[in-house]
């Protein structure tokens, strides 16, 4: 990171909560840096800003001393790193640390009351969302609820959402002070407990029963061959081919082309007629072939039972549980002759 001292770096928001060294302590600090140098300690960078070592950076800039820099190690919690490195600095007393935390808690609570989401507040304060939640919990200890009166919070995307922490208050607290949470209110605690129990007891809704699928004879189709009757894919192909069949009109084409032969003497009118009728015939054959697969009725012999699994495949339906219309007519004829 050579040459970085020539750049004017910013202080990371996580570090801004700590006061600068001033007065005689600052002069002593600079004298120590001038005498010993700054190579023994590295200034920690995070997101391109100074996370730890801001006082050393100031002194090096004032004295023209070269400093050493290092990025925050991967996996290291920046907030915990700053607290560990700064909470026990000699220039900040325990009272100053407590005051700094109280100011942050007040800012977090005020931002929450205006409807900001925990994510937005965390980014503004330069802390994590869990820390914001801890600050909100601490602000609740004062007896004032940090939740917005509207019951909604505004996220980073400017959309409104339900609060992450929605207080459950008893009827008395809702009536007397709807936006005030009373610490250790037994009725509120009981209400939260009852809500948790009700959530556990809540049974998932049963899915609505599927509508019956019937064959062309009006009989209800069993589940084993339900998909064959309910799936429209085969019927859609048949419909498309029937449309194509309607567009094939060899007679009309031949008559119209015949009237143009005087102007276009190279038209092979007989070949046109032959191939046009042949094309219609071939399409009709293909249409009959695919229509033969359309399910018409549940197999009257096996009643749609899946017989392929037990090794005794039904010969009437070939194990699929349904038969097409021509197969149904054949079975009726055979059954009538047998009787």
Tokens of 88: 């026990």
Q: Are 319 and 307 in contact (CB under 8 A)?
A: yes
Give the pairing of strands 322-323 and 297-298.
Answer: antiparallel
Instruction: Encode pLDDT of 270-306 as tens digits.
Output: 999 999 999 999 999 999 999 999 999 999 888 887 6
From 86, 103, 131, the end of a domain falls on 86
The CATH code of the domain that includes 16 is: 3.90.1530
Domain that holds residue 192: 167-202
Q: Are 298 and 322 in contact (CB under 8 A)?
A: yes
Q: How many CB atoms lie within 10 A of CB 227?
A: 10
Tokens of 38: 């700054």
Q: Which of 291, 286, 216, 294 is nearest to 245 (CA)?
A: 286
Same domain, 197 and 250: no
For residue 108, being part of any structural domain is answered with no
Instruction: Encode pLDDT of 183-213 as tens digits.
Output: 556 666 777 777 777 777 767 777 778 888 8
Mean pLDDT, rounded, of the chain: 78
From 86, 115, 148, the end of a domain falls on 86
Half-sphere exposure of 159 (CA within 13 A, CB side): 3
For residue 73, being part of any structural domain is answered with yes
Same domain, 288 and 318: yes
Residue 339, pLDDT > 90, answer no
Q: What is the DSSP string of 187-212?
A: HHHHHHHHHHHHHHHPPPPPPPPPPP
For residue 19, being part of any structural domain is answered with yes
For residue 328, being part of any structural domain is answered with yes
Per-residue CA distances from 221 to 216, 228, 297 (Å)? 10, 10, 8
The whole-model pTM stands at 0.40
Instruction: Encode pLDDT of 299-317 as tens digits.
Output: 988 888 765 655 678 888 8
The number of distinct structural domains making up the chain is 3
Same domain, 304 and 263: yes
């Amino acid at each position: 990171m050579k040459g970085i001292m020539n750049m004017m770096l910013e202080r990371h928001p996580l570090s801004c909560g700590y006061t600068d060294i001033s007065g005689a302590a600052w002069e002593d600090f600079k004298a120590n840096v001038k005498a010993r140098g700054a190579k023994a300690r590295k200034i920690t960078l995070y997101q391109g800003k100074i996370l730890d070592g801001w006082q050393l950076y100031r002194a090096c800039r004032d004295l023209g001393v070269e400093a050493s820099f290092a990025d925050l190690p991967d996996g290291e919690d920046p907030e915990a790193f700053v607290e560990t490195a700064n909470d026990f600095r000699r220039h900040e007393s325990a009272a100053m640390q407590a005051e700094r935390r109280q100011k942050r808690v007040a800012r977090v609570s005020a931002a929450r009351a205006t409807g900001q989401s925990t994510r937005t507040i965390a980014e503004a304060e330069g802390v994590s969302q869990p820390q914001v939640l801890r600050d909100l919990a601490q602000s609740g200890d004062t007896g004032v609820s940090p939740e917005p009166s509207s019951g909604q919070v505004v996220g980073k995307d400017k959309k409104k959402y339900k609060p992450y922490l929605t207080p459950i208050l008893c009827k008395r607290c809702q009536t007397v002070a709807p936006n005030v949470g009373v610490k250790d209110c037994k009725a509120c605690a009981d209400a939260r407990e009852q809500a948790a129990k009700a959530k556990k007891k809540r049974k998932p809704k049963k899915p609505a029963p599927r509508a019956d699928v019937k064959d062309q004879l009006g009989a209800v189709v069993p589940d084993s061959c339900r998909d064959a009757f309910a799936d429209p894919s085969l019927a859609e192909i048949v419909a498309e081919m029937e449309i194509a069949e309607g567009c094939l009109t060899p007679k009309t084409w031949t008559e119209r082309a015949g009237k143009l032969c005087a102007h276009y003497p190279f038209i092979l009118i007989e070949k046109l007629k032959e191939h046009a009728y042949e094309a219609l015939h071939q399409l009709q054959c293909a249409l009959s072939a695919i229509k033969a697969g359309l399910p018409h009725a549940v197999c009257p012999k096996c009643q749609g039972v899946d017989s392929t699994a037990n090794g005794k495949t039904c010969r009437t339906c070939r194990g699929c549980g349904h038969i097409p219309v021509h197969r149904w007519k054949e079975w009726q004829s055979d059954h009538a002759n047998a009787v």
